Structure 1
Amino acid sequence: MNSKPCTNPWTPAIRNEQWWLDRHQQILDSTANLGNQIKIVFIGSSLVEYWANEGRPVWEANYAPLGAINYGIGGDRTEHLLWRIANGELDGLTLKVVVLYIGSNNVPVNTVDDIVRGVNTVVDKIHEKLPNTNILLVGTFPRADQSDVSGTLRKIRDIDQKLEALVGGDTQRKGHFFDLFWFLAPSSLDRIYEHLYVGDKLHLNTEGYQVWQREMNSIFNSLNQ
């Protein structure tokens, strides 16, 4: 179990690691150099970043042709994404959709209500930057990398239900919510469907990314008009 971070999930915080700063700069360069070509941004933590790894075949077939770009950074919590947004990653873009996945890395270290506040703040800040863009918040996926699997899954369900109530159907912020949870874990909430995950029981494998794309397809297409 990770120790509690010194920052709040709703307060922007930098990660003082050179590889992370380099990745942030790479994203800034993409925003500056490809701005008009970018129509869709997937932004968040490693489950977004790994669309470029395990998810690459699915990405290349379904999202790359639409002008989508991957702004995921592994290990990010809500506070880190807030810092990235405040420091230019979405500046000057004109997007149809932002697909947001963030908060999973807060689960081991923050309370449910603090995580909900953090994710909701991210939605606020994206909307401030991109007031005409649909924001598709993807609910937190099940994970079995913590010792108390059932407790972790129940906590995630609590987070997702509260976020769906806040963001789903939020016409003012153009917020939408997509929940993949029950495609990745059973209603018993005691395990995950391991055949959809890599060995760490946290990240999806290629089949898992296929499920993500397939099940999100309807709402994604409706927002990408």
Structure 2
Amino acid sequence: MWKKIVLSIIGILLIGSGWMAYLINNEFEKLESDNPNVWEDAIRQFEVEDKSTNYPKDAVLFVGSSSIRFWNTLKEDMAPIPVIKRGFGGAKLNDVIHFADRIIFPYQPKKIVLFAGTNDLSGRPNDKTPEQILADFVKLIDKIHRELPKTEIYYLPITPTNSRWEIWPQAKKANQLIQTYAQKYAFIHFIETSNYFINKQGKLIDNYLWFDGIHLNTKGYQLWTKLIKEKIQFQGKNAL
């Protein structure tokens, strides 16, 4: 469903452009692929950027899928907390695992904000089960913790959206499994967000979403900013 919605919107904007239609189709092929190497160009672009940029040692690394990538006001929103943004395409948990050596470890971050998992369960024929998503999450956390044992990880769970509402029960279960796992470890912090997107009647509150029904709008990013800052600053005080 999500593919049809986004394709129709982009199609309206780009009618008559065969080349752009090709690029759009190519992008969706990447989204539906389980091969991490489809994102190689994006990762190489990060590496080019790294050559000309000096990052603060205390920067918070934001890594994950397109909701991180499209967060154009991240630096301003998180100020005075310095940030590094490493969101790419329709990244899945396994994609982040695959590229961790290139988009996480080089920065030696003390704190990581992670948003990945939503594209593992998006209405595709090869969607993963909640249990498989948990397994990939654990694999990623283990890899990070072995390399960066003092790093705190802040997880943004799968967001309920109207474009993927029919699979929300599975996404909700995946979130619950990850939250239960995170509660076992002091260095993993689960940032609850779904309560802000669903009202008391169990219906979706979509005023935090962009018109595609998937990504956050300005108000949505303001919500993320508030929740992340509260969590990071609270943990920071506890560490003193």
Fold shared by both chains (TM-score > 0.5) = yes
Residue-by-residue CA offset, 1:84-133 (whole Å, 9 max, x unaligned): 114x2223433221000100001131111111111221222222222111
Aligned residues: 205
Return the structure number with greater helix share: 2
When the two chains are superposed, the root-mean-square deviation of aligned CA atoms in Å is: 2.5
Aligned-partner residue type, residue 194 of structure 1: D
Partner of 1:27: 46
The 3-state SS of whatever aligns with 1:121 is helix
Distance in 2, matches of 1:224 and 1:72, equals 24
Residue-by-residue CA offset, 1:17-40 (whole Å, 9 max, x unaligned): xxx322201223445643555621
- The 5 Å alignment of 1:1-225 reads 13-16=35-38, 20-31=39-50, 33-37=53-57, 39-52=59-72, 56=73, 59-86=74-101, 88-108=102-122, 109-146=127-164, 149=165, 151-171=166-186, 174-189=187-202, 191-224=203-236
Q: Which runs of 5+ in 2 are unaligned?
A: 4-28
- Structure possessing the higher relative contact order (Cα contacts under 8 Å, 6 or more residues apart): 1
Scaled by the length of structure 1, the TM-score of the pair is 0.80
Q: Which has the larger radius of gyration?
A: 2
Q: Which runs of 5+ in 1 are unaligned?
A: 8-12
Residue-by-residue CA offset, 1:155-191 (whole Å, 9 max, x unaligned): 22211111011113513xx1111110010122444x4
Distance in 2, matches of 1:29 and 1:164, equals 35
The 3-state SS of whatever aligns with 2:163 is coil
Scaled by the length of structure 2, the TM-score of the pair is 0.76
